[in-house]
Amino acid sequence: MDDMRDRGLTLNPKYDRDGLITAVVTDDASGDVLMVAHMNAQALQLTIDTGLAHFWSRSRQALWKKGETSGHMLQVRDLRIDCDQDAVWVKAVPAGPTCHTGARSCFFRRVGAEGLSSVDAAG
């Protein structure tokens, strides 16, 4: 265990071999999970500096400011990092649908014995 990283109060993200950490985004008001994405060092720093969520797009290999084209930005209310500093939790106020499909959350389908079913807007 890296005690300074695990218990200390110095931000020291543990990026994976691709230079990324996982980012879980929840709605600040409801607590619902909105999306899971990845951040590199630049995205994390921009999120800290601007208060708006930034991510790294693995498919486009590019920095991505959430809502830059749609207007559905994520205003960060609280940003936390887990014990070994390899994942962040972004509590945000969404300016509209979070999912690129237009759904409020990317987690709009429930998995069950019968397959997938839609989850209503209330979750």
Separation of alpha carbons 121 and 123, rounded Å: 5
Rounded to whole angstroms, how far apart are CA atoms 20 and 40?
5
120 in a labelled binding site: no
- Residue 6 known to bind ligand: no
Nearest in space to 87 (alpha carbons), one of 8, 5, 32: 5
Single-letter residue type at 95: A
Q: Is residue 84 a known part of a binding site? A: yes
Whether residue 16 is annotated as binding a ligand: the answer is no
Residue 99 marked as a ligand binder:
yes
Residue 86 annotated as lining a ligand binding site: yes
Task: Answer positive or negative: Cα dihedral of 116, 87, 77, 75.
Answer: negative
* Pure H helices in the chain: 3-7, 41-50
* Helices first, then strands: H and E counts in the chain: 2, 8
Annotated binding site for Zn(2+): 83, 99, 106
Annotated binding site: 82-84, 86, 99, 106
Annotated binding site for Mg(2+): 82, 84, 86
